[in-house]
A and B are shown apart, each in its own frame.
Chain A
Amino acid sequence: MAARDAGAGSKLTRLTAAEIAAAVASGEVSAVEVTQAHLDRIVAVDSDVHAFLHVAGNAALAAAEDVDRKRAAGEPLGPLAGVPLALKDVMTTADMPTTCGSKILEGWRPPYDATVTRRLRDAGVVILGKTNMDEFAMGSSTENSAYGPSHNPWDLTRIPGGSSGGSSAAVAAYEAPLAIGTDTGGSIRQPASVCGIVGMKPTYGGSSRYGLVAFASSLDTPGPLARTVLDAALLHEVMSGHDPCDSTSVDAPVPPVVAAARQADVSGLRVGVVTEFSGGGSQTGVQARFTEAVELLESLGAKVVEVSCPHFTYALPAYYLIAPSECSSNLARFDAMRYGLRAGDDGTRSADEVMSLTREAGFGPEVKRRIMLGTYALSSGYYDAYYGKAQQVRTLITQDFEAAFEQVDVLVSPTTPTTAFPIGERVDDPMAMYLADLFTIPSDLAGNAAISVPCGLAPEDGLPVGLQIMAPALADDRAYRVGAAVESALEQRWGGPLLAKAKELREPSGGTQ
């Protein structure tokens, strides 16, 4: 590698996606330079952060070259052309492995791209690589990854959240300005919250699930992670939209999220604080920052009221019946017959035996737990009391949202009850781990839009706290509008983004940036 001016390269990694796109479009900087700067950054810090499972290297540079060529030829470029992105390893990529953080898919190369992958490529976004995640998206910390956890750039001894922890860490560590995650119980918003960045769960069906390896089909939602609300909105527009390959994809125009992010105005907006989530359930500092954020909204012209959503307290148990049930079925296909790991095939064993030995060897404990839980909940004799009942509770939760949204325009809560907990703290206590999803789960069950934006650091540990803003289904723009308003006001107060308060990650060469 030729000697580079470390300063110039490092500046590129501090830019927002919007800034990079503008610089590439104007010719001020080449897409190749931008990609190289980020690849260098990955080399520098990822041995500590472990955000990536696969780095595309030459493939990424080739994609960047393609953007530069188009630009030179005067061809029209999309709004994010030349911007690097980290892709959660749950999305299929035909030219990179897709492991879903599991041993059972170690090295698997899909023969097709996910729709989201294809849309990114078509838009000229440069995919830097695949990011680490809790195995098959089950978890809130990446500790369930078969390839080791990722580390929170704010404090490398702590979790970056999950299941999209690799994506979140990559963005927070300046390894990429954009990332794609997936949210089933909170797996975009919670990592964003504990890493001090922006994470959005679009309306269910807003982005295509074709090529998204399914965990819970009726809940999985791909979405953007970024360091700014505007960046997230730009990615949201590129990745979203109806897909005929996905029967559950929304057949309506993508809500005007970029315009809303630029609008950033909440005067006259009615904001509801969810009563059930404002009690003593959260860490002190989280509650404090949340309360301040609500006061901020009021000072910006919003009208704040308390809204009770009585069935939200049943959201966690309902989720931990529905998601495992669907996953027990979705993961049945990993049976050693057509792809992935095959273990125990010594030529004498039966297909059933090989299936069982393979799944025993290839799945981690959380996946096994959820498969068995789901099998239980769907069993004849138990279906009505468990899965059936949970789906009814889900309707009631949706009705709570509908009633709430007649009184208010958005609902708010802390994104997650605590800041980033230490790696290892909850690994042996599944129920404690599940509590991380307490506030995010209702929006997954109802399928409406919800964003997490940084709202400060908890005084007791100096770690990021996230504010969750929930909007009605198909009103994703409203969430961006409020998020952008909060971001703008707080950044003024802080003198810059929250992420600027994080300690710099040690770089082996080139000194600090």
Chain B
Amino acid sequence: MTDLAQLVPYDEALSRYEPVIGIETHVELGTTTKMFCGCPTTFGLEPNSAVCPVCLGLPGSLPVANRAAIEYTIRIGLALNCSIATWCRFARKNYFYPDMPKDFQISQYDEPLCTDGWLDVVVGGRTVRVGIERVHLEEDTGKSLHMGGATGRIHGAEYSLVDYNRAGIPLVEVVTKPVAGTGALAPEAARAYVTELRDLLRALGVSDVRMEEGSLRSDVNVSLAPNGAAEWGTRTETKNVNSLRSVERAVRFEIERQAAVLDAGQKVVQETRHFHEDHGTTTAGRSKEEAQDYRYFPEPDLVPVAPDRDWVEQIRASLPELPAARRARLQAEWGLSGLEMTQLQNAGALDLIGATVGAGASAADARKWWMGELARHANVAGTDLAELPITPAEVARVSALVQAGTINDKLARQVLEGVLAGEGDPDAVVAARGLAIVSDDAALTEAVDAAIAANPDIAAKIRDGKTAAVGALVGAVMKATRGRADASRASALILDRLG
């Protein structure tokens, strides 16, 4: 499928060119009903069972704006440090497409609800302030299944089947200002921005932001200019970027591709490109004869939206703690360095550790287990930490069992293993596998005597006063008890016996 683009190796490209990136993100809002009608927004319903004359665009139907959608959009704008318009309108964006019930989309054009904000993103140890150009509100389209072709994609399809359940779901579009100066970190910066935005939206409770379900969709814009050039280059827009990893890969590929184009003395074509997951490449979209003229005009079926300042301040006051503030607070509470904090974030461990602390563990313990043993398990299984079949409460319980002396660290690892294997909660695993530390003197004495008898040389050393050798005998006791001996008690018993 790829057009075998020429590529310049990444580092080489960055040695001669400076990338500028921009990202447009569409967010499906988690309101109960659609943007302009009372149909439910639930995902996964039977096709065309959540539609009405309005979202089907039947002749005669009229839109009525959803107050909650506007509130959510203002919430997003405030969290992104935007100005909220005192007066704005919806506009029609006119184009023909079978998944568009009215063959125009109600959106916003030159009067968006929120403008001119920013979002700080940490990339490569430094903070990049990504400018936000605008946040506006529009409606989503229906969904098509492409039938008869080999791949299920549009190319080669014989016909399509359209479901309008998704049509009309409120969509917020967040558009960044161009981001310059990230240099070789451009791909990571793009990814970090989308990640941070996603986490922000989740914290605001305005969307379930599931990229795999399509409730968060990003297009990445990339342009290159020769080092020191006065103007920016021509940018391309890449769509179908369906995961965080794809965001990074798409930016990277475009940099390599555009560098090759420019090296060859050609111009980068301003176009929309399509990202291919399988190869990590982009290809040109089907060339259109003329650039789209959407013929925007103010939507006559809707009246202007003029959020009064009291309402805006009410919304501002109700904003939850945002991820950046939360991270700063946790970093201080947990006594971590910036780098350590970033590691936690990158591992996706922040929320898990927070919840584990919330369930009673210390921050240090929570961090140790999630970033150590559990991270290892996740790696082996090829999943994210969050996907492991163990809850923060269970991890907290394991930590508590260690604190109480019921088990030790080594045994704790076996307990975790058992929980992950589905054998039950930590206490059940301890009981079933018999992992409780043995501190009963009678049983220990037996093991101690056996160890002394099996290691007469070491016993002799201890009798001679080389108490350091106790460790070896304790080791033997541990081995004999399959790690369940209370080590310090065993040590005391040995010294007692031989002392």
* Chains A and B in contact, CB within 8 Å: yes
**B96 / chain A contacts, CB cutoff of 8 Å:** 332, 335, 352, 355
Q: How far is the CA of A335 from the CA of B102 in the complex (A)?
A: 9
A375 to B95, CA, bound (A): 11
Determine if B297 and A387 form an interchain contact, defined as CB atoms under 8 angstroms apart.
yes
Decide if A81 is an interface residue (CB 8 Å cutoff).
Answer: no
Interface string of B39-77 (1 = CB under 8 A from A): 000000000000001001111111111000000000000
Given the complex of chains A and B, what is the CA–CA distance between A111 and B57 in angstroms?
12
The minimal Cβ–Cβ distance linking A146 to chain B, given in whole angstroms, is 15
A244 to B62, CA, bound (A): 10
Q: Number of contacts between A and B (CB, 8 Å)?
A: 101
A105 lies within 8 A of B62 (CB):
no
Known A-B contacts A333-B59, A352-B96; the reply to A383 vs B297 at CB < 8 A is yes
Residues of A within 8 A of B62 (CB): 209-210, 245-248
Q: Are B59 and A338 in contact (CB under 8 A)?
A: no
Chain B contact residues (Cβ within 8 angstroms of A): what range?
Answer: 20 to 34
- Nearest A residue to B291, CB-CB: A380
B53 engages A333 (CB within 8 Å): no
Q: Which of chain A's residues has its CB closest to B52's CB? A: A112
Q: How far is the CA of A228 from the CA of B301 in the complex (A)?
A: 32
> Which residues of B, 154-200, contact A by the 8 Å Cβ criterion?
158, 160, 162
CB distance A329 to B297 under 8 Å? yes
In the A-B complex, the 5 residue pairs with the smallest Cβ-Cβ separation, listed nearest first, are: A332-B103, A378-B295, A217-B300, A218-B300, A213-B59
Nearest A-chain residue to B102, judged by Cβ: A333
- Asked if A379 and B303 make an inter-chain contact with CB atoms under 8 angstroms apart, the answer reads no
Please report which residues of chain A, range 85-103, place their CB below 8 angstroms from some CB of chain B when the two chains form the complex.
91-92, 98, 100
Chain A residues packing against B (C-beta within 8 Å) = 91-92, 98, 100, 105, 108, 110-112, 114, 209-214, 217-218, 244-248, 325-326, 328-329, 332-335, 337-339, 347, 351-352, 355, 375, 378-380, 383, 387
**Complex CA–CA separation, A373 to B303 (angstroms):** 25
Interface pair B295/A375, CB less than 8 Å apart: yes
Instruction: Determine the residue in chain A with the shortest Cβ distance to B293.
Output: A380
B61 touches A210 (CB 8 A): yes
Main secondary structure of the interface of B (DSSP, over half): loop
Residues in B lying within 8 Å of A, measured CB to CB: 53, 56-65, 92, 94, 96, 98, 101-104, 158, 160, 162, 293, 295-297, 300-303
Question: Chain A: which residue is nearest B63 at the CB level?
Answer: A247
Complex interface: chain A residues within 8 A of B94 (CB): 328-329, 332, 378
The answer to whether B302 and A247 touch across the interface, beta carbons within 8 angstroms, is yes
21 contacts between A and B (CB under 8 A): A91-B60, A92-B59, A98-B59, A110-B53, A110-B60, A112-B53, A112-B58, A210-B60, A247-B62, A247-B63, A247-B303, A326-B300, A329-B295, A332-B94, A335-B103, A338-B56, A338-B57, A338-B101, A347-B158, A351-B160, A375-B295
A378 contacts which chain B residues (CB < 8 A)? 94, 295-297
A332 touches B59 (CB 8 A): no
Cα distance, A108 to B59, chains bound together (Å): 10
CA distance A378 to B296 in the complex (A): 7
Q: Which of A100, A217, A247, A326 is the most central at the interface, judged by chain B CB atoms within 10 Å of its CB?
A: A247
Q: Cβ of B160: which chain A residues have Cβ within 8 Å of it?
A: 351
Contact assessment for A333 and B295 in the assembled complex, using a CB-CB cutoff below 8 Å = no
Complex Cα gap A48–B296 (Å): 45
State the CA gap A380–B291 with chains docked (Å). 11
Cα-based distance from A387 to B301 in the complex (angstroms):
17
Minimum Cβ distance to chain B for residue A477 (Å): 25
Q: Which residues of B contact A110 (CB under 8 A)?
A: 53, 58-60
Measured CB to CB, the nearest residue on chain B to A337 is B98
Question: Which of B60, B295, B296 is A214 in contact with, Cβ under 8 Å?
Answer: B60
CA distance A375 to B294 in the complex (A): 10
B397 CB to nearest A CB, Å: 53
Taking A217-B301, A248-B303 as contacts, is the C-beta distance between A379 and B295 under 8 angstroms? Answer: yes
